[in-house]
Amino acid sequence: MLPCGVYNERYGQDMAVVRTKRHWGILILAIFFLYLFPVFNLQYFISLINYLCITIIIVLGLQIVTGFCGQVSFGQAGFMAIGAYTSAILTLKFGVSFWLALPLSGLSAAVIGLIGGAPSLRIKGFYLAMATLAIHFLTMWLIMHVEITGSTQGLHPAPPSIGDFQFDSDGRMYYIIVSVMLLMTYGAKNMMRTRLGRAFVAIRDNDLAAEVMGINLYRYKLLAFFISCFYAGIAGSLWAHWIQMVHPEQFTVLHAVWYVGMLIVGGMSLTAGAFFGVIFLRGLDELVMFSSPFLASTFPWLGTHPAASLGVTAFGLILMVFLIFEPRGIAHRWEIFKTSYRLYPFAY
């Protein structure tokens, strides 16, 4: 929906991601503020934003394969683990620099993702969800039982560096993570206006019809998995070098489940959905974390550490509420809101 008085006169305007001058202004201001943020030196928020950005990259990947292409994947945490471990092993054991290991870990996760996506050629919907779940468990089992990953000990990759400058604090890592996040967001946003994105949407809406129209299902479904796992791998690599610790406990099936939940809450099939979902659910998680000591002291029967279980319960309940009342997620509400304020003086 375009604002009142804005018309598309050329093809370029019709295809533009950022449409009006005001959009450009807001975008540049937002990015400027994002890069200026560490100056305020709010340690908690800096590490929170790092965490959010990494999760956004993962959920964007999930958005591509699930939201755009309609292939449900519960394997995102496993692919993230592959990226994290590749990056850690490359930098620790082979002395590759982080800047090369980052894209390589994305690529390796993507190649494994091709194997993970192979079942999608035969099955879909719930069956595919189960297959990706199985792949997650297999991946994690392999990681636990292979020598090079340090199995249950985990690995401790070094922070990235340029020359003598080490990105060893939250505030320094912030710039890398935010930059990569912005790049990946642009990638996802841009993809949706290309032939690839349109093919994905056609497959999501009806894969048989898409095939009849001449879309090569094999190619595009595998490509969706490839791209999505590339995102997960990149996020894994960033995670490994930010936390400086890789351990199988960081990539459990529960994480994969949260990512899918974020997608549902945020809204499938809009890039903004990943942002809304991640921020909303992570915010909820933080809220539970903060309130749990208080809850534990007020209601002693909850036990001493109710944070984890209360978080999971709240997550499940929120998911239920969204599935019943707004299956299209927060992003859909946001779209409605935008339409209404752009048309403001008029009813519709």
Ordered DSSP codes for 52-114: HHHHHHHHHHHIIIIIIT----S-HHHHHHHHHHHHHHHHHHS---HHHHHHHHHHHHHHHHH
Close Cβ partners of 138 (under 8 Å, ≥ 6 residues apart)? none
Stretch that binds another protein, among 180-188, 193-201, 202-210, 235-243 (CB under 8 A): 202-210
| Minimum distance, C-beta of residue 145 to another protein, in the bound complex (Å) | 6
Q: How far is the C-alpha of 141 from the C-alpha of 54, rounded, in Å?
A: 24
Q: Are 180 and 235 in contact, with CB atoms under 8 Å apart?
A: no
DSSP 8-state assignment for residue 2: P
**Is residue 311 part of the contact set for another protein (CB under 8 A)?**
yes
**Contact call for residues 117 and 71 (beta carbons, < 8 A):** yes
Taking the complex as a whole, the smallest distance from the CB of residue 281 to another protein amounts, in Å, to 12
One of 104, 302, 326, 334 touching another protein (CB under 8 A): 302
**DSSP assignment string, 149-174:** GTTTT-B-PPPPEETTEE--SHHHHH
- Residue 157 interacts with another protein (CB under 8 A): yes or no: no
| List 216, 323, 337, 339, residue binding another protein (CB under 8 A) | 323
**Which residues are within 8 A (CB) of 347 and not within 5 positions of it... i.e. 6 or more apart?**
none
Residues 6+ apart with CB under 8 A from 159: 98, 166, 167, 168, 172, 173, 241, 242, 244
How many Å apart are CA 228 and CA 115, to the nearest integer?
A: 13
> What three-state secondary structure class fits 42?
coil
Site for another protein in 223-262 (CB under 8 A): 257, 260-261
Stretch that binds another protein, among 5-13, 98-106, 130-138, 154-162 (CB under 8 A): 130-138
218 touches another protein (CB under 8 A): no
Near another protein by CB under 8 A: residue from 4, 31, 320, 336: 320
- Among 8, 97, 216, 309, the residue binding another protein under the rule CB under 8 A is 309
| Nearest alpha carbon to residue 86 among 66, 111, 69 | 111
Q: Which is nearer to another protein, 143 or 240 (CB)?
A: 143
Which residue, 133 or 196, is less far from another protein as judged by CB?
133
What's the one-letter identity of residue 145? H
DSSP state of 6: -
Pick the closer one to another protein by CB: 113 or 157: 113
Cβ proximity to another protein, 136 vs 241, nearer residue: 136
Minimum CB separation from another protein for residue 196, in Å? 23
Euclidean distance between CA atoms 312 and 317, whole angstroms:
9
Kindly state the number of chain residues that form the binding site for another protein, as judged by CB under 8 A: 45
Q: Which of residues 262-291 bind another protein (CB under 8 A)?
A: 264
- Indicate which single residue of 138, 287, 289, 336 sits in contact with another protein (rule: CB under 8 A): 138
Binding segment for another protein among 55-63, 88-96, 189-197, 313-321 (CB under 8 A)? 313-321
Among 104, 111, 245, 319, binds another protein (CB under 8 A): 319
The site for another protein (CB under 8 A) is made up of 72, 118-119, 122-123, 125-127, 129-131, 133-135, 137-138, 141, 144-145, 206, 208-209, 212, 257, 260-261, 264, 302-303, 306, 308-317, 319-320, 323-324, 327
